[in-house]
Amino acid sequence: MTAKIMQGSDDISQNPSVFTVILNFNNYSDTLETIASVYASDYDANTLILIENSTDEQIIQNIRLRFPSLEIIQNSENLGYAGGNNVGVQEAIDRGAEYIFILNNDVILEKDVITKCIDALRRCPDCAACQPVISFDNDRKKIWSAGTQWFCGYPRLFLKGQSIIRNGAVKPLFGLVGCAIFFRVSALREVGLFDASLFLMHEETDWCIRAKQRNFSLLVITSAVAYHKISATIGLLSREYLYYVGRNWLLVGRKNYDILNYGYILVTEMTIRFPYYLYHLAKRGQINQIKYYLTGIIDGIRCVSGKADF
């Protein structure tokens, strides 16, 4: 994991400085909607940075045309979720951010999300990060994630499918999801950046585990709502999704847990999640795609990390 010594003040300002970091990889239309929702926020002390992992130069140029004043940092290659977001996070910290909001480029914010996240973290000084409730974009009354819970050796989405109840803030049973995380910069200094060796998926899981190991708490702000298009960029059950979801949870488990808990994770991966993915791929007529999941499992056991070479 690449980490830089981070200096700066804690969130003591009356109107603390927020930097919102959106990561894009070859997705034009969804990214435009995410950018527009951030610009519509009711919180003014917010600087938006778009981090471009895109390999399609035309997409980048089209975004520049639509938002001429938008600050864009273009990476020389696709650094994945972890490496790409780390570039934006470090830039924000170097420029004096007190809070940093990481957003996927397929998320749409309600206008008061940033304000409510700041308010919640100010009320909970031991909280390292929070997230709004994440709703399905195509069913905005239903929850996609109110954080995660530990379920049979895996951080499963919490309250998925239940109706949204806007009633304040709660501590998630396990961790937060990476599509919309609002960080306290002082916690980032202590916990560090995302583990760039994971490249894609479960980076936020690893970060939340490390934060809790340092006695930080986490929050889900149930009165703040964001709408998620869910895997709009990489595709649900794509080869990338299947490989990294299989590999990276094993890498995170080995890194953060003792041998007994890691063994439990490995057993439940093969007895619960392997049949789950096999079933859903069979329903889609894509059962041959299971090879990417199994390759991920094998690479996870072998401690292979970084970007996959498909």
Q: In 3D, which of 45, 25, 48 has the Cα closest to residue 37?
A: 48
- What pLDDT score does 73 carry? 98
- What pLDDT score does 5 carry? 34
- What pLDDT score does 12 carry? 53
Give the phi and the psi of residue 228 in degrees, each rounded to 5: -120, 130
DSSP string, 172-203: -SS---TTEEEEEHHHHHHH-S--GGG-SSSH
Distance (Å, rounded) from C-alpha 50 to C-alpha 17? 17
Per-residue pLDDT of 99-147, as tens digits, reads 999 999 999 999 999 999 999 999 999 999 999 999 999 999 999 999 9
Q: Which amino acid is at 211?
A: A
Residue with tokens 């002390």: 45
DSSP string, 266-305: HHHIIIIIHHHHHHHHHHTT-GGGHHHHHHHHHHHHTT--
Two tokens, residue 75: 């990476």
Burial class (CB in 10 A: 0-12, 13-18, 19+), 123: exposed
Two tokens, residue 264: 């439990």
Q: Identify the CATH number of the domain defined by range 18-228.
A: 3.90.550.10
Per-residue pLDDT of 35-52, as tens digits, reads 999 999 999 999 999 999
- What pLDDT score does 14 carry? 83
Q: How big is the chain by its Cα radius of gyration, in Å?
A: 19
Which residues are CB-contacts of 27 (< 8 A; sequence separation ≥ 6)? Answer: 54, 59, 105, 106, 232, 233
Two tokens, residue 261: 């808990």
The pTM score is 0.93
H-only helix segments in 40-75: 57-66
Residues of the chain with pLDDT under 50: 1-3, 5-9, 11
Distance (Å, rounded) from C-alpha 9 to C-alpha 26? 35
Distance (Å, rounded) from C-alpha 277 to C-alpha 242? 8
Per-residue pLDDT of 15-39, as tens digits, reads 999 999 999 999 999 999 999 999 9
Distance (Å, rounded) from C-alpha 290 to C-alpha 281? 7
Distance (Å, rounded) from C-alpha 76 to C-alpha 27? 17
- What pLDDT score does 310 carry? 80
